[in-house]
Amino acid sequence: MFTTLVTDFRIVFERDPAARNWLEVLTCYPGFHALVIHRFSHWLWHLGLPVVPRLLSHLARFFTGIEIHPGATIGRGVFIDHGMGVVIGETAIIGDYALIYQGVTLGGTGKEVGKRHPTLGDNVVVGAGAKVLGNIQIGHNVRIGAGSVVLREVPSNCTVVGIPGRIVYPAGDRPEPLEHGRLPDSEAQVIRLLVDRIEALEQEVRGLAQEQPQSLRPERFNHHRLADFTIEQFLDGAGI
């Protein structure tokens, strides 16, 4: 346990540029505090000690804002950045060197018994507010974008964004874990493609209308544009 805690401590300096010295990390990082308490409560949980492990996790939740069930299995070198609102369920499994941001939920989807929470591989990054739900397998080196809801298994070396989560980077493309700005907006890309297709169809209709006699030409095609100001504002705001 001591070696694991040392790894948890050292990873903070690698993952957080704001970490300046060891005293600051020991006293001001709730993610590290929550992991320390969880390591001990998890050990008591496996000893079969009643009440005390849950009480420790409840106290950790009160002081850090991070709720980790003592039954959850967490690998070494895990960093919970900020951490407020993080919830990790009883049967969740987190691999080594995972990076978890605030508001993340690793939860279940109902009243199942047995294994009902997700399993995360090594080097997984879960963005702020993301929800990973159910007994699903998340592969190694997976990046889950902020606010995403993941309900299905994800293979290794992929990036997932959206609600529900969609794979946007195929295997083999591994951006830097902290570069969250590189996450694409898949929904906006689809909307852009649909808008372009509709505009192309309108142009064809205009061409056909020009071939008709003047009296039969539909005037609305001469003045209407799909990419009006409102749509352009939406597309610009969507990050295209």
Of 166, 182, 198, which residue is a domain's last?
A: 182
Of 182, 200, 221, which residue is a domain's last?
A: 182
The whole-model pTM stands at 0.74
For residues 74 and 3, the model is more confident at 74
Structural domain containing residue 77: 2-182
Same domain (yes/no): 169, 198: no
Q: From CA 100, how far away is CA 227, in angstroms rounded?
A: 39
CATH code at position 86: 2.160.10.10
pLDDT digits (tens, 9 = 90+) for 126-143: 999 999 999 999 999 999
Same domain (yes/no): 82, 195: no
Q: From CA 240, how far away is CA 189, in angstroms rounded?
A: 7
Same domain (yes/no): 161, 197: no
Same domain (yes/no): 208, 222: yes
* Long-range Cβ contact pairs of 121-124 (< 8 A, separation 24 or more): 121/95, 121/156, 122/75, 122/95, 122/96, 122/97, 122/98, 123/95, 123/96, 123/97, 123/98, 123/177, 124/94, 124/95, 124/98, 124/99
Mean pLDDT on 160-180: 69
Same domain (yes/no): 194, 83: no
Same domain (yes/no): 134, 227: no
pLDDT digits (tens, 9 = 90+) for 39-95: 999 999 999 888 999 999 999 999 999 999 999 999 999 999 988 999 999 999 999
- Say yes or no to pLDDT of 118 above 80: yes
> How many structural domains are present in the chain?
2
Angle at CA of residue 197, ends 191 and 202, nearest 5° = 125
Average pLDDT, the chain: 83
The structure tokens listed for 157 are 């070396």
Reported as a pLDDT band with limits 50, 70 and 90, residue 151 is very high
For residues 187 and 161, the model is more confident at 161
Q: What is the DSSP string of 165-214?
A: TEEEE-TT----TT-GGG---HHHHHHHHHHHHHHHHHHHHHHHHHTS-G
Reported as a pLDDT band with limits 50, 70 and 90, residue 240 is very low
Reported as a pLDDT band with limits 50, 70 and 90, residue 194 is confident
Q: What percent of the chain has pLDDT over 90?
A: 43
Q: Would you state the pLDDT for residue 161?
A: 87
Same domain (yes/no): 90, 128: yes
Same domain (yes/no): 191, 115: no
pLDDT digits (tens, 9 = 90+) for 15-45: 888 888 889 888 888 999 999 999 999 999 9
Same domain (yes/no): 60, 144: yes
Q: From CA 79, how far away is CA 98, in angstroms rounded?
A: 6
- Say yes or no to pLDDT of 216 above 90: no
